[in-house]
Amino acid sequence: MRTRLQIGWTPADPTPVDTDLHARIDRMRALLAGRRLVALTGAGISTESGIPDYRSPGAPARTPMTLEMFLSSPQFRRHYWARNHLGWRHMDAARPNAAHEAITDLQQQGRLIGVITQNVDMLHTKAGTRRVLELHGCYGRVRCLACDWQISRHRLAAQLEALNMGFAERVRSRGAIEVAPDADATVDDTSDFTMIDCPACGGIVKPDIVYFGESVPKPTVQQAFSMLDEADALLVVGSSLTVMSGLRFARHARRTDKTVVIVNRGATRADDLADLKIDHLASVVLTALADPGSQTATTQTATRSSA
């Protein structure tokens, strides 16, 4: 299946922030009690770690690099790599926030099977979560499109630094650098940046990230569906599900009678599929969900009500 991503993203429509948060969290706990979860996460879970997203209400409209642009000319590739040379460091320095840690807690409690993430920031892995399926790849790897030669982003950074002495300092001297969710940075003049080709075959090297306009690999999609089929419920966190790469999992969960709970700031394309939608900070909602004491109290209340 080819996933054609939208270009020129604009923020999602806002939805009312939940004022009856405690009641909705209690309902979420009741809906998910005793169910095996899979989490589907998007950029909104990482905003509290300092990584911006494309879709939250109030986010600036962005036009990211597309695969077609990247492949079209050496000039586009140089421009991209110059920006990535600055932006990836911001992403690498980011640390997991309470929402990532809560997901790890849910897994350690035996309640969460794994995570399907649309993010490339590796924050789930940094938080200690296991069985993380990265739909769109990750910023930490670079590969050749011709021969599949690979190198870590850290090792490549050292090579680029040696070829572009003083480049980062020159850009920073012109003012603050705006960083995008895909480890890109806003830089206008990149004419003096030098990029390398594949040392093995001379081919084009590219971050191991699914670009806008690129396909999510079929084996990755199949693994994601298999993981979801093991679960009883889908917990969507921080994704507007604007593109099919995430929306199809919500639709599959609904078709297979799984519980669907969405935690996201702003509207999503699956709001009408959800058993419950909570518009609030992911860290607040997930921390409450992962709190064993709160879960026990909710379960006891439900048991007394049914007695």
List the catalytic residues.
Answer: 136
Of 241, 243, 249, 242, nearest in space to 220 by CA: 249
Of 51, 43, 118, nearest in space to 88 by CA: 51
Say whether 119 counts as a known binding-site residue: yes
Say whether 54 counts as a known binding-site residue: yes
Say whether 73 counts as a known binding-site residue: no
Say whether 25 counts as a known binding-site residue: no
Say whether 48 counts as a known binding-site residue: yes
Q: Which residues pair with 112 in a beta bridge?
A: 37
Say whether 278 counts as a known binding-site residue: no
Say whether 51 counts as a known binding-site residue: yes
Residues 6 or more apart whose CB falls under 8 angstroms from that of 147 comprise 198, 200, 201, 203
Say whether 50 counts as a known binding-site residue: yes
Say whether 157 counts as a known binding-site residue: no
Say whether 144 counts as a known binding-site residue: yes
Say whether 201 counts as a known binding-site residue: yes
SS (H, E, C) the chain: CCCCCCCCECCCCCCCCCCCHHHHHHHHHHHHCCCCEEEEECHHHCHHHCCCCCCCCCCCCECCCEHHHHHHCHHHHHHHHHHHHHHHHHHHHCCCCHHHHHHHHHHHCCCEEEEEECCCCCHHHHCCCCCEEECCEEEEEEEECCCCCEEEHHHHHHHHHHHCCCHHHHHHCCCCCCECCCCCECCCCCCCCCCCCCCCCCCCEEEEECCECCCCCHHHHHHHHHHHHCCCEEEEECCCCCCHHHHHHHHHHHHCCCEEEEECCCCCCCHHHCCEEECCCHHHHHHHHHCHHHHHHHHHHHHHHHC
Say whether 298 counts as a known binding-site residue: no
Say whether 239 counts as a known binding-site residue: yes
Say whether 57 counts as a known binding-site residue: yes
Q: Which residues of 227-243 are buried (b: 16+ CB within 10 A; e: fewer)?
A: bbeebbbbbbbbbbbbb
Say whether 138 counts as a known binding-site residue: no
Say whether 293 counts as a known binding-site residue: no
Say whether 64 counts as a known binding-site residue: no
Annotation: binding site for NAD(+): 42-62, 118-121, 238-240, 264-266, 282
Annotation: binding site: 42-62, 118-121, 144, 147, 198, 201, 238-240, 264-266, 282
Annotation: binding site for Zn(2+): 144, 147, 198, 201
